[in-house]
Structures are given as structure tokens and as C-alpha cells.
Structure 1
Amino acid sequence: MQAHNKTVVKSMQILTLFINHPKLTFNEMMELSNLPKTSLHRMVGSLEEMGFLTKDDNGHYSLGLIFLQFGQLVGERLDIRSIAYPIMKDLRDDVEEAVNLIVRDKDEAMYIEKVDTLHPVRLYTSIGRRSPLYAGDSRIILAFLPQEERENYLENIRLKPIAMGTITDKTKLRHAMDEARSNGYTITSSELEDYTKAVSAPILNGKDEIVAGISVAGIEARFQEDRLPELIDKVTKAAKAISVKLGSQTH
């Protein structure tokens, strides 16, 4: 463990050199880092192989394009939270149910913001909670991914039952995703926890790509059929308001 920690520390020592230096030669990195030549050579090679560093034809190193991806994701998620929160709070105050903000994290979904219901009987969900993309309010994200990504996910995932309403048949799941894209929202029942219900809508960015989902979720008894049209209307409007602030023009 200590050896791995030292490797990480040295790697960060190399990468942080580029905060103040857009480009560096190998010798310049050696002078600035005070690392032994052999050790530096090995670590620079690994960082280049993983895409964290790139080398031009003149032998100058710079940070790899992967940092643009990381930076975009971090910035986007932070922006979503700050933009979404007041809209989520208004929605919670209006419908008096818990409102969740969900993003994709590889093959899972993560809850990154929540405004809880004031009802004493509530559905337990915490910031940082993870769930599979195929189940519950998380499915709104899967449904709006590009077709190739959806199919790749379905080919490589095993649908496990989580609660009594979890969809474990891939044909039914595809149908549910088709409906979500057609309707612009999902209604899920007892998929992550028994006797719960959620209404979810997609949040799109300026490229009209799915970047998050917003949901109203709670105890099934408070989500009667005659109330669903109101919840659908308010959740989709909240999703649109957030998407517009992120630059989307699709809604």
C-alpha cells in the first residue's frame, strides 16, 4: 500500500508541474521535480500511456486531453447542482415530496442533490447513494442515452431484482425506455424499494445530451393515479427550467 501511495504522490508531483508550465521537456521535468531520471522516465511513460500526458514532435510534454473530459464533467456536475437546487426546492415546496437530482457514473446512477419531503413518513434516499441505471428514477438517464450506448449497456448488464417492481426482462426494459423517450418522462413503481413511486424527467445540456435526471419520489400511497398528471407536469417543467439554464433548446 505504501509503495502505491508513493507512486500516486510522485505522479501528482509530475502533473502539478503543468499548472504553471504549459509545456515541459523531460529534462525540465527532472529539474523541477528532483525525481531520479529512471523513476521519472518510468512514471512519465505510464502517464503518457494512460492519456494524462501527451508529447509533441519536439519532445515537449503537456497535459493530455483526458483532463478536458474530467474538467467538463466536474464543472458540469457542479453547475447542475447550483442551478438545480432552487428549482428543486420550489418543486418540493409545491408538491411536498422529495426531489432528487441524479447523474450517471459509469454503469450506475448517483444522487448528487436532494431536497427532502417534510412528511414524517418518507422514502430514504441520501446524497451519494448509487443505483443501477436500469431501475427506478435512474432509468430516465439510461433511456435518453444514445442508442449505441444504451445497447452496449444492456448487452453487458445483468438485470437483478432489487424490489418487487424491478424490471428484469430486457425486452420489457427496452419498451419502458422507448416509452420514456416518447413521453419525455418515466413513472416507476417499487423498483428500488417496495411501495414507492417516482416520476422522473431528463435534464439536457447545451448539446441536448442527457446530463442528469430530476425526480419526485415518495411513498406509493401519495402517488395516486389522479395525482400523476400534476406531478408529471411539474417535474417536466422543472427539468426544462434546469435544461434551459444549461443551454438546451430542445425542450
Structure 2
Amino acid sequence: MQNKNKTVVRSMDILNLFLDRFKLSMNEIVQLSGIPKTSVHRMIGSLEDMGFLHKDKDGYYSLGLLFLQFGNLVAERLDIRRIALPVMEKLRDDIGNAVHLVLRDGQECIYIEKLDTNHPVRLFTKIGKKAPLYAGASSRTILAFMPDDERERYVDEIELLPISSGTMTDKDALRASLELTRRRGYSFSRSELEDYTAELSAPIFDHTGQIIAALSSAALEVQFGEENLPELIHQVRQAAAEISRRLGCNETRSFG
């Protein structure tokens, strides 16, 4: 028990009782756990309030739906790199730019996969790199498709600090950009995380239709010329839609 919080450990002991039992009464939890009834009552109340336990009309407890949410999230995050990789490889070969797979990590995004290009001048990005949700096309794609209240709360509370010469530091401009991303189905950024670079990103949705990741193509700004940008947008959006389909997303979204 050294260096472990006693309440947390006891709470886990209670939750572990449900690994092979569908539901339990308060008295059964006390008997099986060996924890004093007053402590069990207090901890169960907290676990129920947080959604880890559910109490039915007969007073029996079972695991809450929050575990289903966590379980799906863990499963998808473990699988998404494997599922996305062949699509990313084809996209990289088709467009000749580096391709990234990005997930949300709290108030940041994190790059979990990167495929380099054979171009002699390459961007220095690496797996594990993080960026705030307001900066860069991938980050803003994730932010744009988050639930409305969560997105607006983030924008209200965050301080927009400049990272590079093109980083957005005006909240009205950020909100307008997020609305444009939702309408068009992609985000494009120039010199927001690193000068003279550009990133084009599209959303990836899970089987529930919720944003789970962003797919992006990144390169030097000069490689995103006006003449080839429409085709790049089409290819990145199509690749992101294919990954979404492979993740079980059957929802068809219409972007302008």
C-alpha cells in the first residue's frame, strides 16, 4: 500500500467485484470487499455520481455506461494506427508529402503516426509531438468537430499564445476558422506551428459519428500552390473518409 492512495485502492477493490458479477447489493459489496459499511457507502456514492456505477430501482449496483465509453475509446486508439496506416501510405505515395495521424490529448493534440516523404527537404515532426488545439490544421480540425459546448468553453478559456508567425491569436478569427472547417470538412494552415510550412487536415470519425482523430498532409508552403490545392484537399478528405469508414462510421457528411 506504500505510495498508494487508500481510498483509490479500495474503490478499485469495489469495482473489481463486478468483473465476474453483473450486479450487487450494498450488503453484498460490504461482505465481499471486507470494507466497513460506512466507507463502502461513501465510496459507492462517489462512484455512482461519477458514472462508474449505476443503481437500479431495486437498489442493486452494476457498472456504469462510462466504462463502455472508456472501453470503446481505448479499443479505437489501439486500432486506429493499424487501420489508418495503409490509407496513409497510399495518400503519401499519391501526393508526395508527409502524412500525419493526430489524436486529441486533453487541451492539446498529439501526433501518433507519421509517414515521411522522399522529398530532399523534409519537415521536422515526430511521433509524440504535441500542439495546442487552436494552432495548426490538425489541431483545429479536432477542435472544430468537438461538441459545441465543449468547443466554445475551450475557446472562452484558452489564451491564444503565438507559436509561429501565422498562429491565430484572435478569438473571433479562430471561431470563424472553426466554422469554416465544419462547413468545408477540412482545415488549412500556413506558418502556424513553424514558419514556411503548411498543413492540410481532414477529420476522422468513429463508429458513433464523433471526431476521433485528424489526418493531415504537411510540407513546405511552396508545395501547397493554388494550382494543386483543390486536388490535395480532395485526396486528404477522401483518405480521412476512408479511415472513418474502416472504423465503422456509416454517417455520410455533406461538406461544401
The TM-score bracket by the shorter chain reads 0.7 to 0.9
* Alpha-carbon distance between aligned partners in 2 of 1:46 and 1:149, rounded to the nearest angstrom: 24
Q: Which amino acid aligns with 1:83?
A: I
* Structure 2 unaligned regions, length at least 5: none
After superposition, the Cα gap between the structure-2 partners of 1:101 and 1:130, relative to the gap in structure 1 and judged at 3 Å, is: same
Please show how residues 122-161 of structure 1 align to structure 2 within 5 Å. 122-137=122-137, 138-161=139-162
Please show how residues 29-48 of structure 1 align to structure 2 within 5 Å. 29-48=29-48
Query: Partner of 1:247 in structure 2?
Result: 250
Choose 200-209 or 22-31, whichever is displaced more. 200-209
Give SS of 2:227's match.
helix
* Alpha-carbon distance between aligned partners in 2 of 1:27 and 1:118, rounded to the nearest angstrom: 65
Cα displacement (A) at 1:161:
0.8
* Alpha-carbon distance between aligned partners in 1 of 2:172 and 2:225, rounded to the nearest angstrom: 27
Question: TM-score scaled by structure 2?
Answer: 0.85
Please show how residues 27-176 of structure 1 align to structure 2 within 5 Å. 27-119=27-119, 121-137=121-137, 138-176=139-177
Give SS of 1:162's match.
coil
Q: Which amino acid aligns with 1:101?
A: L
Query: Partner of 2:183 in structure 1?
Result: 182
* Structure 1 unaligned regions, length at least 5: none
Give SS of 1:10's match.
helix
* Alpha-carbon distance between aligned partners in 2 of 1:177 and 1:83, rounded to the nearest angstrom: 27
2:212 is the alignment partner of 1:226? no
Report how many residues are paired. Answer: 251
Q: Structure 1, residues 83-126: CA drift from partner, whole Å, max 9, x if none?
A: 22210111122223221122333432232333233445432333
Equivalent pairs: percent with the same residue?
56
Give SS of 1:113's match.
strand
After superposition, the Cα gap between the structure-2 partners of 1:115 and 1:9, relative to the gap in structure 1 and judged at 3 Å, is: farther
The CA RMSD measured in Å over matched residues stands at 2.5
